[in-house]
Amino acid sequence: MKQFTAKTFNIPVLKGVSTKTNEEHIKLYNAYVKNTNALLETVGELNRRFGFEFDGMRNHELYFSQLEGGSKPLKTSGSGSLKGAIEEEYGSFESFLTAFKGLAMTRGIGWAMLWYDRKDKRLLTSWVDEQHIGQLNNCTPLLALDMWEHSYVADYQPSGKKQYVEDFFANLNWEIVENNFKI
C-alpha cells in the first residue's frame, strides 16, 4: 500500500512559540505520519488475514456438517440428482471417488473440495491451499475434506493419511452434500 511521506516545513522564528516547541511539535507530526503508515500496513495485513480466517471458518462448518447424522449413502442416480451430476461429469461414481481421493492425497496442507458451478451447471474439484488459495469464484462448495494434519495425525499418524480419507467417506452423510447441491 502506498505510504504517506512526512512533509518538511520552513517555519520562521515565531512570536511567542520557541524553536524548541516547533521542533517537538514537528516530531509529533512525524510520529503521526509514521503511525498512519503502520496502521495502513496493519489494515492491509488484517484484510489479508480476514480471507484466511473467514474461509477457515466456512470450510470447517461445511466439513463438520457433513459428519452430522451419521453415515448416509448417496441416493441413486437420476435427472437432477447429485449422483446423476457426478456420473455425467466423471463417467461413474467410482471414477469420481478415485479422482477425489487422489486430489485429497495431494502433498501439503489444505482442502479437497467438490464445487458446483451454477453458471456452467457442472461439478468441479479443486485443491484449496491452506484455507483460501484455490476457492473457485462464484461456485458453491458441496463437499469439503480437511487435509490439514490436525484433522487426522493424532489418530492416523502422517503415514495413515490414506486411511483417514477412506474413513472420511465411510463416515460421510451424503444427504448433507446433496442438500448443498440443491441450494
CA torsion through residues 111, 114, 116, 121, sign:
positive
Residues 53-69 pLDDT 10s? 999 999 999 999 999 99
- Cα separation, 111 vs 99, in Å, equals 14
Share of the chain above pLDDT 90, in %: 80
Three-state secondary structure readout of 68-109: CCCCECCCCCCCCCHHHHHHHHHCCHHHHHHHHHHHHCCCCC
Under the banding of pLDDT at 50, 70 and 90, the label for residue 183 is low
Say what the pLDDT of residue 48 is: 80
Say yes or no to pLDDT of 133 above 90: no
Coil/strand/helix, residue 147: coil
- pTM for this one? 0.81
Say what the pLDDT of residue 166 is: 97
Mean pLDDT of the chain: 93
- Cα separation, 30 vs 7, in Å, equals 8
| DSSP structural state of residue 150 | G
Say yes or no to pLDDT of 80 above 90: no
The x, y and z cell numbers of residue 15, run together, are 512570536
Q: List domains and CATH numbers for the chain.
A: 1-183 (3.55.40.20)
Query: Which residues lie below 8 Å from residue 38, measured CB to CB, with a gap of 6+?
Result: none
